Amino acid sequence: MERLLPDRLKEVWASVERQRRTAEDATREQERLIDEHRLVWEQALRLEAHQALEHSALEELAAYFKGIDRGELESRCREATRRLKADWHRGGGSDAIQQFYDLNEGHIFDLIWWHTLRDDISPLAYVVAVDFARSRGCRHHLDFGSGVGSGAILFARHGLGVSLADISSTLLGFARWRFARRGIPATFIDLKTSRLPNEAFDMITRHGCLRALDRPGSNRRPSVRGPQVRGVHFRSVRCGTG
């Protein structure tokens, strides 16, 4: 099995400790390896072959949120994390917290901008997961907490059947629209109303910060049961605010 990016990077820096290469050479090799993964990510997501991923994301937003100009869309993207943080700390009862996840369109802007890799390359963990899945012959992928669907698009581009599960009807609606626009088949599961099927997946990804729909002192929690799975559960974490 071909070594995955974390193992390759570990070996690069181990060679520095063994004085077999300089730190400058190791830095160049690290950047080369990361750029390889960045290219895989960008090729899977962008709408046109030579289009910058940032421009592709804004084009998608303009097509989905008709009537909003590009400048306003970019502003919403750049401000999304701050606004979501303010909405979260504004608080409210358990219904307000559920609506924060289920209905707040700010998550669309926050996630799709994050996936442009402008400020954070952690979404490239999905590329590592694809490499792992393909090396193990995985065929059926579930993205648990699928957000705007970028990770599942990547998996679908590499030949896996994909299912997207989320508690947000707003995010699932946007992801469904993205898949339809690309002509990619997928299954969409609203975790508020549906249970995950057992033994239907041999690869599950869970990328990002999962927060319960409650606050200290609240007695209301969502009931989301994970599936029985014969395969791999690949989890990584986005360092965010909240």
Give per-residue pLDDT as tens, 30-63: 999 999 999 999 999 999 877 899 999 999 999 9
**Does 108 have pLDDT greater than 70?**
yes
User: How confident is the model at residue 98, as a pLDDT?
Assistant: 75
**C-alpha–C-alpha distance, residues 35 and 116, integer Å:** 13
Q: Distance between CA atoms of 10 and 8, rounded to whole angstroms?
A: 5
Backbone angles phi, psi at 206, to 5 degrees: -145, 95
The H or E element that residue 141 is part of is strand 140-144
Give the domain 5-55+112-236 fold. Rossmann fold (3.40.50)
Q: What is the 3-state secondary structure (H, E, C) of 102-131?
A: HCCCHHHHHHHHHCCCCCCCHHHHHHHHHH
Q: Where in the chain is the domain with CATH 3.40.50?
A: 5-55+112-236
Answer whether 0.75 is exceeded by the pTM: yes
- Three-state secondary structure string covering 192-241: CCCCCCCCCCCEEEEECCCCCCCCCCCCCCCCCCCCCCCCEEEEECCCCC
Q: How many CB atoms lie within 10 A of CB 184?
A: 14
Mean pLDDT of the chain: 86
Structural tokens at position 46: 């962008």
Residue 241: closest CA among 148, 119, 67: 119
Average pLDDT over residues 225-239: 49
Look at the alpha carbons of 125, 142, 40, 72 in this order and tell me if their dihedral is positive or negative.
Answer: negative
pLDDT in tens, 110-160: 999 999 999 899 999 999 999 999 999 999 999 999 999 999 999 999 999
Structure tokens at 112: 């799709």
Query: How many other CB atoms are found less than 10 A from the CB of residue 55?
Result: 14
Vertex 7: Cα angle to 5 and 11 (nearest 5): 115
- Pick the range with the lowest mean pLDDT from 19-33, 150-164, 176-190, 218-232: 218-232
